[in-house]
Chains A and B, each alone.
Chain A
């Protein structure tokens, strides 16, 4: 087993810059997820690790080994693609055994025993002689996983492996993948555009945007304490406010003016944010409560969606859209919502506001 390190990796395709100086550290045995919108460079990062893309600059290290010039077949990686990529002219068993043609079977088992072991691991025991075409999507993806793991790779790379499956199957399969990963303790890089999936399975996530890494951290940390506006808006829903510090007040808290409204925000270090500093902060929809007395504003109800366990209401406050979660459908067409000062998270503090427009819904 081995850790993984990317140092300042850049890659362009013609005019298009796919990666601009990506640096990442993945610990040995870690389940590490790259998440971001399509075109953010997450798949290119994975392909650079696998050796499918040559780098314009930067380095990829597997443990103590620099991988420049090392062909994909010599990297000891297991790769699972979104579209399964099973060899259609081979049986399930032949697919899983393919990598054993080039590498010794781990633990000195026979090939057949290894194939049986792997198929058992993905709950497909006895499927050796099946034709891949005869399997369901979920089964095919599990065969692909078994095939990737059979030679005992150092690193497992998963490129949107669930995207072609329906929602219910995705949840089952991701639990299974997570279980197998922790059983084997294999270093895993997982690429997905689905932020819920990323938060659910990962030890750590890297949020990517526009060829760069925005933030790396444990799922809770990245969700609760986004460091950029992009992360705040990409992971889950958020209400982002941009304003400026009106007064210091007592302790670490500040009063922030957004439009004509003053909000009390607790999330400040004592030192930063002088009066007049531009501030961006966010409040999750579930923290924006109806009838709250602190930091309350009155907004017009624009639309209400029923989500099952709750309602999502889209509000208009002075031309800015707010999103709140409600347990009951609002009866009025106006709603008073507020939040506690400690429920606001400050994304950035600077002399200049990065985005002059205040609130947008992702």
Chain B
């Protein structure tokens, strides 16, 4: 063996460890350091410890409602506050997240029942469409709901036609909750359907043979197996809606602000200390919930899954085979009613956005698209140019892919198969899922973007790099979520066979494991790309005052005008690009199993 080959082999043996260290470094610099910057901002001022801002925030009834006096130790004001603002900003954030969770479960569970228990044309398509919310840019959904509930939107048109009269629904809690349900009900549906499909039909049959009627068998055998999935979906929905940003920003405004929106607003006012304090409160809550989720999940995954689901009922039975009892008929009617509601909630906003983008004051028009083109051609460099937004989005998406994919695969390899540090590594690696984009964006802005002293050198990264970094941090957990379960499912002896035949660990990974989980890797890549394309929370902070804005940021900047037109047109462009990545995900057999 020559010297060069020897060196290559030496590196090959250690490649996994090297990649692991590199990933840990990237995470430390791009995620943990920014988040710690935010934590430090909350309690340090001018290089010294200072808890004044933190104390002010914690004891301000505006933030903590009736809890503020508790933190203050002064209980005299409780009754006054209870009457005035009992929840405070944080309480309201939790309250709307709770309502959103209930709405998502209510909307999602019937869907899971239908998808798991009925066979009908298009079932598989609808099942795979349930991953759509993770791919749809949140700002686009917000614009869609804005158009849907707006004064001239279809909902108000319908109400007027029914003689109820037009209602102002923008800026109401209901609008936010419905939009959150749009986002998260499919998640509940998806995890529950997956659990339902992995139920062993023989268990139900055994219960029936032991004397349980169908209802008892359902309650005693099926429900306990589905409950963990429903709780998983509910917990994740709560975390996501607790941190929700663009939907609340667009539909609630600052009147119905959540913590996330308020942090953003404080950042805009350059009040970093107060923003950081609030961000810390939010992060602690969401991290605690995510930790609870991961602990719960690891307990559940011990259950073995036999893939022997009960057969599906046909939704359209052949006439001769099934005359249909009254109950079966009622059930079908209920399902059709549910399907109608679901269609309105899920199709309505997106369709409204597209329709709005081609509807002017005088009917059908392409003026908003002409506006985009014109802006691109004639716009000044300080204005938001659609072409630049599209170019930036695609560039950042590709760059995100290049960073997030190796990171995600490395983390998957290191955590997929037990091991001493698996739990810790898993939790540390999944933390970005639980930290909001606004917090990461804020941390990067305050740290690397403003510049950091390091060994006497001033280290500073510019906007695009910071944006790609933030996107990669947000995206790679999705790569892990797609690759890790498949990798864990690869038989250990397959890898060991390759090792015994002479392959190093990394060769076995490249030659054997990755080809076997190619679908998961590809889906993870598509997710990473789509998340980068749709990311709004950190981008809007990092792109402030620079030319590194993306399509979602452009959408938000176009809202400000009197008409929704340009924003919906830009949103439609965004929809087109996003749909393309969804098609890719679907072709590659993408799966999202939380």
Contact = CB atoms under 8 A, between A and B. Distances in A.
Q: Do A and B originate from a single complex?
A: yes
A81 interface: yes
Given A85-B491, A87-B494, A88-B516, A151 B501 contact: yes
A79 B496 contact: yes
Nearest 8 interchain pairs by C-beta:
A102-B502, A99-B501, A81-B493, A85-B493, A72-B499, A79-B500, A89-B515, A85-B494
Contact of B502 (A50, A101, A157): A101
Contact of B497 (A71, A81, A153): A81
Nearest to B494: A85
Nearest to A157: B500
A85 B503 contact: no
A83 interface: yes
B491 A50 contact: no
A77 interface: yes
B498 interface: yes
Contacts of B504: 71, 73
Interface string B494-531: 10111111111001000110011010000000000000
Contacts, number: 74
A264 to B, nearest CB: 53
Given A50-B496, A79-B496, A147 B501 contact: yes
Contacts of B501: 73, 78, 98-99, 102, 147-148, 151
A144 B499 CA distance: 14
Interface of B: 13, 491, 493-494, 496-504, 507, 511-512, 515-516, 518
A75 interface: yes
A84 to B, nearest CB: 8
Contacts of A77: 500
A103 interface: yes
A86 B491 CA distance: 10
B22 to A, nearest CB: 22
A73 B499 contact: yes
Contacts of B494: 85-87
Nearest to B498: A98
A68 B61 CA distance: 66
Contact of A71 (B13, B491, B511, B518): B13
B499 to A, nearest CB: 4
Given A72-B500, A98-B501, 10 more contacts: A52-B499, A71-B13, A73-B502, A79-B497, A83-B491, A85-B496, A86-B494, A102-B502, A148-B501, A151-B502
Interface string A146-176: 0110010100010100000000000000000
Contacts of A157: 500
Nearest to A87: B512
Nearest to A74: B502
Contact of A75 (B498, B500, B515, B518): B500
Contacts of A89: 512, 515-516, 518
Contacts of A81: 493, 496-497
A79 B494 CA distance: 10
Interface string A76-113: 01110111011111000000001101110000000000
Contacts of A51: 499
14 contacts: A71-B499, A71-B504, A77-B500, A79-B500, A82-B493, A85-B491, A87-B497, A98-B503, A98-B511, A101-B502, A144-B497, A148-B497, A151-B502, A157-B500
